[in-house]
């Protein structure tokens, strides 16, 4: 019987940029190992078009993602809860491991800076998956 996938939830306030890209990279690099999710404490209701474009550049279609709240994870057991450095905490999510990455919010950044944040998130996701 195959091992159960380890659930990871990436959390940011609006769930429109950083956490969405982290979820996408976890889907790419953690296929067969992790079951990634993303959520926000105050979701914006949309995925930022800049994030969609930045992920399109690396071959991932973020248009299928939606901005969602943390409520669905309250009381849920996950392997890791990763906050993006937005000061968010998710006390009702039961995580074996909590990590805060301190990643700057790219919302108002230039496309070049946005790509740097995207690439930083990808590197962190790879490190996280390797450590599980």
Of 118, 23, 24, 31, nearest in space to 80 by CA? 23
91 is catalytic: no
104 is catalytic: no
Of 54, 86, 117, 128, the catalytic one is 86
Of 51, 90, 121, 129, the catalytic one is 90
Cβ atoms of 65 and 23 closer than 8 Å? yes
Of 11, 12, 22, 55, the catalytic one is 12
90 is catalytic: yes
- How far apart are alpha carbons 54 and 90 in whole angstroms? 27
Q: Would you name the residues annotated as active-site residues?
A: 12, 86, 90
């Amino acid at each position: 019987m195959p091992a159960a996938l380890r659930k990871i939830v990436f959390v940011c306030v609006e769930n429109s940029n950083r956490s969405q890209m982290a979820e996408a990279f976890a889907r790419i690099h953690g296929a067969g190992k992790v079951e990634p999710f993303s959520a926000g404490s105050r979701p914006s209701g949309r995925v930022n078009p800049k994030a969609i474009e930045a992920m399109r550049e690396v071959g991932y279609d973020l248009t299928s993602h939606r901005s969602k709240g943390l409520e669905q994870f309250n009381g849920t057991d996950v392997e890791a809860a990763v906050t993006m450095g937005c000061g968010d905490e998710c006390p009702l999510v039961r995580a074996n491991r909590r990590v805060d990455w301190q990643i700057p919010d790219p919302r108002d950044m230039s496309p070049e800076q946005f790509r740097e944040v995207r690439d930083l998130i990808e590197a962190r996701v790879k490190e996280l998956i390797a450590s599980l």
